[in-house]
Structure 1
């Protein structure tokens, strides 16, 4: 379960990281390689590790870590390297289907990757059908898990393209029940923080 508690974007900019897959690789005696994909869904991991960081930022992160009780409670992180969708297609109408899940598709060839987006930043969602902007509550509703449902007579027609633009968060938890900080010598207004990690929570 993920609480809809959002880490300050001012603090989250300090997190570095991104998606990871897991692949086993075995090399035969003839140097041919066999690969086994252990997971088909990428999992995002992050780390916040800084030297001479502003003590006020560190104290904000520390207070948030206490609020989450370390690893115990999940929360929402803005990944500043990948936090938005711009006119991304999420489905094609068939005249019957009313609900479409928010998602982001990464394409660089013939093997696109579809990432489910469940935590949309409030006030940023724009939904379009064949390029025409729809109105929240009048044409559609959106759930807390990013499911967009068209209402009444607003179900997308056959072959209509449903697209969205929005900002989104990554659901994560801290990974490690220790918060390690120190004061650099002769620099009382800054702090060093060693590797505060976060890992994506997959529902």
Structure 2
């Protein structure tokens, strides 16, 4: 499966619906107690972009995007307006938002992650698609010059250049915006032109993919 490094029309994603999904198996015992097992270590997102189409121009943009992706064949970027920052949606990302590692004086590469929760069982989400120009990195609380590290925009890896490797026991943190890797979950779009001024596609299922 190929990945196209292009973002689905953001005006449409703003009006979409969806969110995280997990896979849990539950067995109810004869005693009434339950045994629960998580099939997935990480959640996956599902969306419906049909709700976001407000005009014929929106419909045309989605149709063109669908055709270029060849339906379900190619994955692409998706902006989840409910969760696209290292901080809360109303805040501005800061270099100290998310812990991404501890320096040891030798390790140069650190993976961007976003951690959810803090009490019982925090979950760290690997961030593979940071938005270029939005990432800031700090070592021991000091914001680093972007010239001292390289950013993998399709891997989420922050790689410090020689001479800038974080020293022993120095916390490495980052702030960023990010996208989700998704694909269409259909090979067919059903276009409704009964409302000629706007038009609609009742359902455009989108699902997150693992890269």
Q: Which runs of 4+ in 1 moved over 2 A?
A: 49-53
Q: Does 1:168 align with 2:178?
A: yes
Report the CA distance between 1:51 and its aligned residue. 8.8
Aligned 8 A contact 1:11 1:60 in 2: no
Q: Distance in 1 between matches of 2:80 and 2:186?
A: 19
Shift of the alpha carbon at 1:134?
0.9
The answer as to whether partners of 2:13 and 2:52 remain within 8 angstroms in 1 is no
Go from structure 1 to structure 2 and tell me whether the alpha carbon gap of 1:48 and 1:30 turns closer, same or farther (over 3 Å shift): same
CA RMSD of aligned residues (A): 1.5
| Residue 131 (structure 1) shift | 1.8
Q: Unpaired runs of 5+ in structure 2?
A: 87-92
**How many matched pairs?**
200
Q: Which residue does the alignment assign to 1:78?
A: 79
- Unpaired runs of 5+ residues, structure 1, are none
More strand by share: 1
Task: Pick from 140, 148, 151 the counterpart of residue 142 of structure 1.
Answer: 151
Which residue of 91, 99, 122 maps to 1:89? 99
Q: Does structure 1 conserve the Cα–Cα contact (< 8 Å) formed by 2:16 and 2:51? A: no
The DSSP-based 3-state class of the residue aligned with 1:90 is strand
Question: What is the TM-score of this pair, normalised by structure 2?
Answer: 0.89
* 1:156-203 superposed Cα distances (whole Å, 9 cap, x missing partner): 11221111111111000000111112123xx32111322101111112
What is the CA distance between 1:126 and its match in structure 2? 0.6
- Which deviates more from structure 2 when the two are superposed, residues 44-53 or residues 5-14? 44-53
Q: Secondary structure at the match of 2:60?
A: helix
* Greater mean deviation of Cα atoms: 170-179 or 107-116: 107-116
Counterpart mapping for 1:113-132 below 5 A: 113-132=123-142
Q: Secondary structure at the match of 2:50?
A: strand
Report the Cα distance in structure 2 between the residues aligned to 1:11 and 1:50, rounded to whole angstroms.
8
Name the CA shift for 1:68/1:152 in 2 (closer, same or farther; >3 Å). same
| Paired residues of 1:51 and 1:192 also in contact (CA < 8 A) | no
